[in-house]
Structure 1
Amino acid sequence: MDTVAERHPIFETGPRLALCALLQGADWVEFATVRDLIGASDSAVSKHSRTLEEAGYLEIRKGSVGRRPRTWLRLSPSGRTALRGHLSWLTGLRHAIDSPGDAASPVTGTADPG
């Protein structure tokens, strides 16, 4: 399946991109693990995960282990697709910066006439 390079502004907040990058290679990841690996506070992870969930990019499951409540996160299929598209767009942007006369514009998809 080809990935369509497309800018997704929702990923342009550092913690959201980090959160999604962490989750893209996993199934369910416990909230505390996400928090620790991206180096964000509980409230920041909660806020960003809620934004991603409302966009349909993240799934949240709540339960318990013993008597302790737990929350797990994972990217939804549409979240994985959107993240791949955004990363592809960023790669195109990087190529345009590295060779401005040779690459197609990641924004318009056309070569720079200059």
Structure 2
Amino acid sequence: MKKILDKLDKAFENKVRLGIMSALMVNDKVDFNSLKELLGVTDGNLASHLKNLEKKNYILYEKEFIERKPSTSYKATEQGKSAFKAHINAIENLLK
């Protein structure tokens, strides 16, 4: 049992970070406002969780202007995708 628990990634223990990575796993990229609406969180709350995932190199961000308005989009890195898959596999193994 201990070995399975060791495979869980603390970065994904929070439901907001779990939601962020879930959205980024099924989309090439997702903009800040879409993530905020999808997860039902405040700007500050979302920003802090995104920063946490950025520090782990699990996500990247891209800033651009769309019709003169700034837009920030996020995407999962290969490292992030791999870590998230391992985390989900550990949960599935724990449930067996």
Aligned residues: 91
Q: Residue 93 of structure 1: CA displacement?
A: 1.2
Report the equivalent of 1:21: 22
What residue number does 1:93 align with? 94
1:48 is displaced (CA, Å) by 0.5
Query: 1:74 & 1:49 partners in 2: Cα distance?
Result: 11
Kindly provide the CA deviation profile for residues 32-72 of structure 1, in whole angstroms up to 9, marking residues without a partner as x: 01111111111111110111001000001111111111100
Specify the code of the residue in structure 2 equivalent to 1:12: E
Of the two, which has the highest radius of gyration? Answer: 1
For 1:50, the equivalent position in structure 2 comes to: 51
Higher helix fraction (1 or 2):
2
After TM superposition, the structure 1 = structure 2 runs for residues 8-87 of structure 1, keeping only pairs within 5 Å, are 8-87=9-88
Indicate the SS of the match to 1:24: helix
Amino acid at match of 2:10: P
RMSD of Structure 2 on Structure 1 (CA): 1.0
The whole-number CA distance in structure 2 between the counterparts of 1:49 and 1:40 is 12
| Residues 54-95 of structure 1: per-residue CA shift (max 9 Å, x gap) | 100000111111111110001101000000000000111111
Cα separation, 1, equivalents of 2:20 and 2:57: 15
Q: What is the aligned-residue identity percentage?
A: 25
Runs of 4+ in 1 over 2 A off after TM superposition: none
Tell me the distance in 2 between the aligned counterparts of 1:75 and 1:9.
Answer: 17
